[in-house]
Amino acid sequence: MTDPAPLVTMAPDLAAAVAEWRRWLADLRRLSPRTTEAYGRDADDFVRFLTGHVGAPPTVADLGRLSPADYRAFLARRRRDGLAAPSLARSLSGIRSLIRFLEKRGETTSAAVAAVGAPKAPRRLPRPLGVKDALSVVSDAGALAEEPWVAARDGAVLALLYGAGLRISEALSLTAAEAPPETGGALRVTGKGGKTRLVPVLPAVGRAVAAYVRLVPFRLAPDEPLFRGVKGGPLSPRIVQLALQRLRGALGLPETATPHALRHSFATHLLGSGGDLRTIQELLGHANLSTTQVYTSVDAERLVAAWKDAHPRG
């Protein structure tokens, strides 16, 4: 019995174009591997939909004949499959990227997909910790660790998240040569899209990292990861998440007390202390100011809550 022929979901010319687009995303756009893979899956889902929608594996020319209604039909199908608005918006973003890539090569037009609005997701405000809780998390980060060097490591990582506003991926991608000095200073961070920024490091954060470096039992070559797991390999974000999960149980913190909540806390507490929004945008590495402006809503929410608690007529 012979194996069934593989399912063909796109014509050869479109398959070649999609492969080039994915290389372009990784090599020229310098998107992260996870984002590139997610965009690729979105394109594959769309092409599979078109195979049934137009009755045959689509070609590049078929994409140029699509109308806004065709794209909306795809989004409606994905919504019936259970995708929420944020996932639908990302899916549309990936498809737009592919179509615009082909348009730049003169092979199709993006007019139809540009006419389709992205699904609106309900805006969720960040859930930062209070100042006392954030400080407790950082100071007690290693309280439940069995090894002193693991306790120092967890404390150093969480200090970078709250003290410097780093994403967990940014902290764990630091090499030993990039470790901040014990006295503080500036740290060059590589964020999303390969963009770099300078972040000030407080002496307290520098001391936390230095304490870990003194205790870690593995040799830290300059070009190798700064933070290590118990077997010496690169530290996994999941380990940090689990450490904070145990810690929030011990401290009585809500489930929203996650590593990323420390980054939110960094921004919210800076803003509440009079920090400039543009400066906070640069410190966080946000490409658009609108992304940072969400913290103004968080701070306003905090002020209203404080007013209600303190005002005699509250």
Cite the active site residues: 167, 192, 260, 263, 286, 295
Q: State how far the Cα of 158 lies from the Cα of 233, in Å rounded to an integer.
A: 19
Helix (H) or strand (E) holding 199: strand 196-201
Residue 275 C-alpha from the chain's centroid: 23
Q: Are 260 and 168 in contact (CB under 8 A)?
A: yes
Please classify residue 117 by burial: count the beta carbons closer than 10 Å to its beta carbon, then call 0-12 exposed, 13-18 middle and 19+ buried.
Answer: exposed
Indicate if the alpha-carbon torsion angle 156, 159, 164, 166 is positive or negative: positive
Q: Are 248 and 202 in contact (CB under 8 A)?
A: no
Q: State how far the Cα of 88 lies from the Cα of 76, in Å rounded to an integer.
A: 9
* DSSP 3-state of 187: strand
Contacts by 50-53, CB closer than 8 A, 24 or more apart = 50/74, 51/9, 51/10
Q: State how far the Cα of 69 lies from the Cα of 116, in Å rounded to an integer.
A: 8
* DSSP 3-state of 200: strand
At 232, give phi and psi (nearest 5°). Answer: 100, -10
Task: Please choose, from the candidates 123, 170, 175, the residue with its C-alpha nearest in 3D space to the C-alpha of residue 284.
Answer: 170
Helix (H) or strand (E) holding 137: helix 131-139
Q: State how far the Cα of 200 lies from the Cα of 191, in Å rounded to an integer.
A: 15
